Amino acid sequence: MEVGFLGLGIMGKAMAANLLRHGFRVTVWNRTLAMLSDPSAALSVVFDKDGVLEQIGEGKGYVDMSTVDAATSCKISEAVKQKGGAFVEAPVSGSKKPAEDGQLVILAAGDKALYDDMVPAFDVLGKKSFFLGEMGNGAKMKLVVNMIMGSMMNAFSEGLCLADKSGLSPQTLLDVLDLGAIANPMFKMKGPSMLQGSYNPAFPLKHQQKDMRLALSLGDENAVSMPVAAASNEAFKKARSLGLGDLDFSAVHEVLKGTGGSG
Amino acid sequence: MEVGFLGLGIMGKAMAANLLRHGFRVTVWNRTLAMLSDPSAALSVVFDKDGVLEQIGEGKGYVDMSTVDAATSCKISEAVKQKGGAFVEAPVSGSKKPAEDGQLVILAAGDKALYDDMVPAFDVLGKKSFFLGEMGNGAKMKLVVNMIMGSMMNAFSEGLCLADKSGLSPQTLLDVLDLGAIANPMFKMKGPSMLQGSYNPAFPLKHQQKDMRLALSLGDENAVSMPVAAASNEAFKKARSLGLGDLDFSAVHEVLKGTGGSG
Amino acid sequence: MEVGFLGLGIMGKAMAANLLRHGFRVTVWNRTLAMLSDPSAALSVVFDKDGVLEQIGEGKGYVDMSTVDAATSCKISEAVKQKGGAFVEAPVSGSKKPAEDGQLVILAAGDKALYDDMVPAFDVLGKKSFFLGEMGNGAKMKLVVNMIMGSMMNAFSEGLCLADKSGLSPQTLLDVLDLGAIANPMFKMKGPSMLQGSYNPAFPLKHQQKDMRLALSLGDENAVSMPVAAASNEAFKKARSLGLGDLDFSAVHEVLKGTGGSG
Amino acid sequence: MEVGFLGLGIMGKAMAANLLRHGFRVTVWNRTLAMLSDPSAALSVVFDKDGVLEQIGEGKGYVDMSTVDAATSCKISEAVKQKGGAFVEAPVSGSKKPAEDGQLVILAAGDKALYDDMVPAFDVLGKKSFFLGEMGNGAKMKLVVNMIMGSMMNAFSEGLCLADKSGLSPQTLLDVLDLGAIANPMFKMKGPSMLQGSYNPAFPLKHQQKDMRLALSLGDENAVSMPVAAASNEAFKKARSLGLGDLDFSAVHEVLKGTGGSG
């Protein structure tokens, strides 16, 4: 089976490599997967000159694995369907490392037949794929997961700062956390580098903040009040204002650290 | 070795049972462990008539396993030392289930010699004990851990609400979360009961909110800004104002759920 | 001078009445003022069949006095200019009462010549009009003002609740506030009715929340972290979720009041 | 009438000067007014050696005009009463300028007879005094007012930042605000100096943050959820962590300004 691939950023490179490793021919052909960084990129690759829309048609499918809002996915879906093509949105949960290890979680929605065709590729890219029903549900599920993750990162960073400023060993806090009910891979993976102030971008902060923004917009449409997500989003925006947007999203720790004066 | 035990609430019952099961004689004698619900209870059991202070003396030790602020621990420590006794604060991380299973994490500080004497008892009550140095560090570490936990619970609840109101299956969200980088025992354990609106108190909400308050006070003393913890604390306070303080802390979900109108 | 008027809601009725009272002929003719409730309404009145765009042309002008985002204003501006017309955005600061009294503050931007033509009408509708330069600045200034207002309303409501629950007279709080450095017409006007739980819509809550949302989006574009506005926005969203969106924005007080249990 | 005066800080100097100007003999004699900066100072001046308690007695009164928590006021009240003296707490609303102009608002509670005796002095110090009933109510009312003020300052600063980063003139924003429903003396007085980054301490930020903390504690006791006050408090704490605690409370603007990067 031949698979097209658009977008070779942090995630895309790792994913395309996995497909090649498992004998897929990865070219721009009839099944196209896109891995792009935001709604505008996802739209332009479809609607611009020489874009997907010009190649799509009967019996062809297009799969967008970027994280965009439901409206963007639906807009693409409409256009692809009008040309007789099939469309599946399939954003992924997981960042650079899981992408390299083929351990992503794939959140697919849209055309069920195309989804079924894609399962072999999804099995290479991820440890599990979900078919979530109507177009937009994949995007929505991804946003909900990333919103929780973004708030957890802020809670974690606040805890590391509080430990440090209170005369406790942040390293011991990591050990204690890892033994308890809230132990999770993100704390284990990010904690040590955060303590060193090293933020090599597995998931860029500006993309995390974009997802927080989109999740808050989704909450706004549905009148869901989310004060903790809102506070976390403001911390990520503060990090952007300090020029940290291209670092890993754990760089929000730099915002929370402060200077240790006692005013 | 004989171990005294004060306070037989949710946690204390389970802990005392473990000590008995492992052949400790649990009575009020020279080694006394306290498991109480808040600073005032912890103080009164020491300072009131017929309190610990009247029995403590040379060669006797007192261990307080409640979660109180550092100031309370230090006040007790001073008084016990003046009577010639030894004091260890040893708050625990973990709630009802880990207490029953002897899987608590014990955060001890204060008199190192008494801590060493207590290790056999701690080995029964917990899977690991840390000696954190000077008096008050146990209390502080516990507060930092519970602060992170409380914010995570709010982030989790906001995500469940957003999924539900956005037409996604909250159960599927639990499945997706459990496969990802933020999978943790708390989400796995509390998620299903939260979806059923069942909040059997493993850790009462009013105690979680007390710990958030004490952690924020600790942050205030050290000029640590913690906006996410502050937003979470307000949600727990809202839950208290709705009369949910005696339910499990996951009952904050009732605050966030709202009514689903679209205003 | 003849003035067209679109949109006769709470604000529009009062404004049109003032124009008539001062001898303007108010019909749909060459100068058209629109007073609509949100971006989609503002767009449809221009772009839909029989919309403004079909009537606009050389020597004609269109003034939109609704509160919309800058993008919407700019989109309308482009379309009107292409037809040879002139466009001014002129959102107003002030709600029902100031509209009735001709005491609005008018925040105009766009075509300076058309603005100059409109000054006589603006002098009737408002006590002062500002020309803020390039298209979109009127919308932006309005959003900034309403964002501050929305956060102040939340701060005010929290204070009224705290006074009440703490055994103080909320009425005395109003008297004290009115004598101090933060005395302002909004507290004076809204306070008594809020204490009675009466929220006759001068400025509907759903519109206030829309403005908070748009202001937060503007902040997002410019990487401005606004934690207090974000917290206020979540309270307004909570009010919407409780079905209070059509009441006055001071109805956010119902969200903050809680039930007085002590958990 | 002779009036004693303790504490000659920013406020105290101005207040004592007004009493002298109006023919009061200001010495440490039978009526003592205290103007101190926080609970510990208020307590030590009473309970320490050579403190108020040693001089107080039958027919003597003590008035504390500092802003402290209700518990502190009540503790002082008990001690003074035991010595046969009378006590009034009388915190003031207003900072340096109103203190100089005798335009403070005085929030008294406690001993009604002593309050009545003090009215001539209060009439010199303030434009209005309220008798709020039982001991502690003066402190509580003051905290509620300062909490609202602190949140308003944050809302104002966020608006100034948003205007600036969005290409609007912050000075024009001040002009617009001054014409509208939220116009107030604080915005008028502090706005221009905030735009210049000048924060000459009329009311030190660390004292404003202390009052936010005490107000939030009062809310905690009464299960009042105050998310906007909590977010504002965290901003003031951030300012303290940046070493701005001795500047005017409007210096929280420095925290919100950020760097203007776009991350």
Convert the pLDDT of each residue in A28-59 to its tens digit: 434 567 777 677 888 888 888 878 888 888 98
Which chain A residues are closer than 8 Å to B154 by Cβ?
151, 227-228
Q: Cα separations (Å) of C176 from A66, A111, A117, C130?
A: 55, 63, 70, 34
What's the pLDDT score for residue C30? 44
Phi, psi of A43 (to 5 degrees): -75, -45
Chain D (53-82) residues lying within 8 Å, Cβ to Cβ, of chain C = none
> Stretch A244-254: mean pLDDT, rounded?
97
Whole-structure pTM value:
0.89
Closest C-chain CA to D235:
C227
Higher model confidence: residue C69 or residue A143? A143
Convert the pLDDT of each residue in D114-172 to its tens digit: 999 999 889 999 999 999 999 999 999 999 999 999 999 999 999 999 999 999 999 99
Q: Are B90 and B112 in contact (CB under 8 A)?
A: no
Higher model confidence: residue C152 or residue A33? C152
Which chain D residues are closer than 8 Å to B225 by Cβ?
234-235, 237-238, 241
Phi, psi of A25 (to 5 degrees): -90, 115
Closest C-chain CA to B165:
C241
Task: Give the span between the Cα atoms of D254 and B101, in whole angstroms.
Answer: 51
Q: Are C39 and C45 in contact (CB under 8 A)?
A: no
ipTM higher than threshold 0.95: no
Which chain C residues are closer than 8 Å to A237 by Cβ?
219-220, 223-226
Q: Which of D233, D235, D150, C253 is nearest to B233 (CA)?
A: D233
Coarse DSSP helix, strand, coil percentages of chain B, rounded to the nearest 5 percent: 55, 15, 30
- Establish if B100 touches chain A: CB-CB under 8 angstroms: no
B237:D231 CB<8 A: no
**Residues in contact with C121: Cβ distance below 8 Å, sequence separation at least 6, in sequence order:** C1, C3, C19, C24, C31, C33
Coarse DSSP helix, strand, coil percentages of chain A, rounded to the nearest 5 percent: 55, 15, 30
Q: Is D142 a catalytic residue?
A: yes
C241:B231 CB<8 A: no
Q: Where are the alpha helices (DSSP H) in C166-204?
A: 170-178, 185-195
What's the pLDDT score for residue B257? 86
Chains A, C: CB pairs < 8 Å? 42
Catalytic residue among D60, D75, D140, D142: D142
Nearest to C181 among D94, D137, D226 (CB): D94
Which chain D residues are closer than 8 Å to A246 by Cβ?
263
Active site residues of C: 142
B237:D225 CB<8 A: yes
Which chain D residues are closer than 8 Å to B230 by Cβ?
230-231, 233-234
Convert the pLDDT of each residue in C169-212 to its tens digit: 999 999 999 999 999 999 999 999 999 999 999 889 999 999 99
Nearest to A173 among B144, B167, B232 (CB): B144
C148:D154 CB<8 A: no
Higher model confidence: residue A14 or residue C31? A14
DSSP letter string, D154-202? HHHHHHHHHHHHTT--HHHHHHHHHTSTT--HHHHHHHHHHHTT----S
Nearest to C223 among A220, A223, A240 (CB): A240
B240:D230 CB<8 A: no
What's the pLDDT score for residue C61? 87
- Least-confidence region, from A34-48, A131-145, B177-191: A34-48
Active site residues of A: 142
Distance from CA of C160 to the nearest CA of B (A): 16
**Residues in contact with A159: Cβ distance below 8 Å, sequence separation at least 6, in sequence order:** A173, A177, B144, B145, B147, B148
Which chain B residues are closer than 8 Å to D219 by Cβ?
237
What's the pLDDT score for residue B164? 97
Distance from CA of A80 to the nearest CA of D (A): 33
Which chain D residues are closer than 8 Å to C147 by Cβ?
155, 158-159, 162
Which chain B residues are closer than 8 Å to D240 by Cβ?
223
Which chain C residues are closer than 8 Å to B262 by Cβ?
240-241, 245
Chain B (196-215) residues lying within 8 Å, Cβ to Cβ, of chain D = 213
Closest D-chain CA to A227:
D227
D263:A239 CB<8 A: yes
- Establish if D40 touches chain B: CB-CB under 8 angstroms: no
> Stretch A185-191: mean pLDDT, rounded?
97
CA C113 to chain centre: 24
Chains B, C: CB pairs < 8 Å? 54
DSSP letter string, B112-130? HHHHHHHHHHHHHHEEEEE
DSSP letter string, A50-98? T-HHHH--TT-EEEE-S---HHHHHHHHHHHHHTT-EEEE--EE--HHH
C223:A213 CB<8 A: no
Closest D-chain CA to B217:
D213
- Establish if C137 touches chain D: CB-CB under 8 angstroms: yes
The three-state secondary structure class of D38 is coil
- Least-confidence region, from A31-45, A236-250, C29-43, D160-174: C29-43
- Establish if A258 touches chain D: CB-CB under 8 angstroms: yes
Nearest to B241 among C227, C240, C261 (CB): C261
What's the pLDDT score for residue C3? 67
What is the rounded average pLDDT for all residues in chain A?
89
B240:D224 CB<8 A: no
Nearest to B259 among C209, C242, C246 (CB): C242
Preferred mutation among A154, A205, A220 to probe C, highest tally of C CBs within 10 A: A220
Task: Give the span between the Cα atoms of B3 and C233, in whole angstroms.
Answer: 54
Nearest to D241 among A205, A209, A258 (CB): A258
Which chain B residues are closer than 8 Å to C205 by Cβ?
263
Nearest to C263 among B227, B244, B263 (CB): B244
* Per-residue pLDDT band at D24 (split at 50, 70, 90): confident
* Per-residue pLDDT band at A260 (split at 50, 70, 90): very low
Q: Cα separations (Å) of C174 from C43, C169, C224, C251?
A: 41, 9, 33, 17
- Establish if A156 touches chain B: CB-CB under 8 angstroms: yes
A234:C226 CB<8 A: yes
- Establish if A227 touches chain C: CB-CB under 8 angstroms: yes
Distance from CA of B131 to the nearest CA of A (A): 10
Convert the pLDDT of each residue in B241-251 to its tens digit: 999 999 999 99
> Stretch C52-64: mean pLDDT, rounded?
87
Q: Which of B97, B157, B107 is nearest to B132 (CA)?
A: B107
- Establish if B226 touches chain A: CB-CB under 8 angstroms: yes
Give A55's Cβ-side CA count (13 Å radius). 15
Q: Which of C171, C108, C233 is nearest to A213 (CA)?
A: C233
Convert the pLDDT of each residue in B101-154 to its tens digit: 999 999 999 999 999 999 988 999 999 999 999 999 999 999 999 999 999 999
A237:C231 CB<8 A: no
CA C229 to chain centre: 16
